Amino acid sequence: MAGIIINNVRIFDGAQLRTGIGAVRVEGNRISEVADSGRRIEPQAGDRVIDGQGGTLMPGLVEAHAHLSWPSSVERFVPGMALPPEDLVLTTARNARILLDHGFTSAYSAGSLSKSVEVVLNTFITSGGMPGPRLVASSIERSPPTIDELDPGQVADHGTGPQAVREFVKQCASIGAKSVKFLLSGEDALMPGASQQLLYTQEEASAAGEQARESGVWLACHAQANEAVKMGLRAGFRVLYHCTYADSEALDMLEAKRDDIFIAPAVGIIQATLDANPPPHFDMTHMKTSAAEVLALQKKLVPELKRRGLKVLPGGDYGFPFNPNGRNARDLELFVEHFGYSPEEVLSAATLLGGELMGMGDELGQVKPGFLADLLLVDGDPVADVRVLQDRKRLRAIMKDGRFHKDPALAGLAGA
């Protein structure tokens, strides 16, 4: 079968930068050959050969905390969160394309503003014809019926108690969601003091866990409070977001499950809150105070999680007006700046660990023969400075599943 060869590249393979200048061959939707140390790959009949011009070839990025239906993006500012249904659907589809444009070939959803928009969008993406990352689709975020923060899209089917929670998980699974997200604790940024509030009982969380295993879906949680982290772990949640107030007992519990769980602190939204310059009528004083506290705690927490061998991934709640979709690669810089990661370490978290997060660790997130061809050709050296990934013009090629979303022959032309 005719393939595509990209020669003359430095290769970051998901774990490390390989030695010397190398080459990669893609056949169909998979990587068929990887050569390094100055070796070129001899083209077979019909192969297209691309000169990488000494750029860096690496796996596509994985966003661990994606909100495709959160309205704001680098292409469109939306002051609030709620959109009319048609606008919400098209905005979600557009944000999928925007993530892919910025090098994110996979996204793990951290919740949607509509029950089914991500599931439907995913069928359009996977069947071809709509650009977007590989997607672990989520249903709507669930908070209990008495709380309506964060989910203006919520409409029905809420009740309290383990049975109601089971029904919700079952229903999300029947719609086709792969991940179901719960707000196990509240969020200070939205309501002062809420981060310490538990929104579910252990019985409810555990019922969600049982149902999720029965229905074959994964659970993710917003967990700021220490007890929320523990509740999620006891209930078998697979992805834990934030974990800001985890105490040493919670850290031990996390460590005991380190092979089965993933954590995304979502530092992007924190930094964006601190950086935001809101108009005078919009008071962010409280949000900024809370963000400063969270950042100070996470600067201690995340290095400790890493030291204990936990899988911590970039992914930062992009989609808010002051933290728009499309800026996602900034999280990598923040891991280096705040959490003591080397560029290589955070690149690995965003690719190799990202493949595991997507449930595809044996075929996604690495430049390796047999792996799926989700690749970026970067004009520059992200291993020296991860910030180059924030400039989409430096992404000379973006390949997903063996096909160019951005073709290097066309890069540099108007709009590319």
Binding site for Zn ion (CB under 5 A): 110, 317
Cα first-last separation, the chain: 29
What are the structure tokens assigned to 250, written together? 């919670």
Give the Cα separation of 385 and 333 in Å (integer).
8
- Nearer residue to Zn ion within complex by CB, 110 or 136: 110
Q: How far is the CB of 110 from Zn ion (least distance, A)?
A: 4
- Nearer residue to Zn ion within complex by CB, 57 or 189: 189
Residue with token string 């999680």: 305
- Nearer residue to Zn ion within complex by CB, 31 or 329: 329
Q: How far is the CB of 42 from Zn ion (least distance, A)?
A: 47
Q: Tell me the DSSP string of 85-111.
A: HHHHHHHHHHHHHHHHHTTEEEEEE--
Q: How far is the CB of 65 from Zn ion (least distance, A)?
A: 6
- Nearer residue to Zn ion within complex by CB, 13 or 317: 317
Residue with token string 């690995």: 348
Q: How far is the CB of 66 from Zn ion (least distance, A)?
A: 9
What are the structure tokens assigned to 344, written together? 């290589």
CB atoms within 10 A of CB 38: 11
Q: How far is the CB of 256 from Zn ion (least distance, A)?
A: 26
- Nearer residue to Zn ion within complex by CB, 50 or 110: 110
CB-CB contact of 1 with 27 (8 Å): yes
Give the Cα separation of 169 and 155 in Å (integer).
16
- Nearer residue to Zn ion within complex by CB, 26 or 272: 272
* Cβ-closest position to Zn ion: 317
Give the Cα separation of 72 and 79 in Å (integer).
8
SS3 353: helix
Phi-psi region of 222 (alpha: psi -120 to 50; beta: other; left: phi over 0): beta
Q: How far is the CB of 317 from Zn ion (least distance, A)?
A: 4
- Nearer residue to Zn ion within complex by CB, 110 or 358: 110
- Nearer residue to Zn ion within complex by CB, 188 or 317: 317
- Nearer residue to Zn ion within complex by CB, 68 or 110: 110
Burial (Cβ within 10 Å: 0-12, 13-18, ≥19) of residue 8:
middle
Q: How far is the CB of 241 from Zn ion (least distance, A)?
A: 6
Q: Phi/psi of residue 179, each to 5°?
A: -125, 140
- Shortest CA distance to 252 belongs to which of 307, 205, 291? 307
Q: How far is the CB of 259 from Zn ion (least distance, A)?
A: 24
- Nearer residue to Zn ion within complex by CB, 22 or 133: 133
Q: How far is the CB of 316 from Zn ion (least distance, A)?
A: 9
Give the Cα separation of 259 and 311 in Å (integer).
8
Q: How far is the CB of 192 from Zn ion (least distance, A)?
A: 19
Which string of b and e fits 14-28 if b means at least 16 CB within 10 Å? Answer: bbebbeebbbbbbbe
Q: Tell me the DSSP string of 39-80.
A: ---PPPTT-EEEE-TT-EEEEPEEEEEE-TTS--BTTB--SS
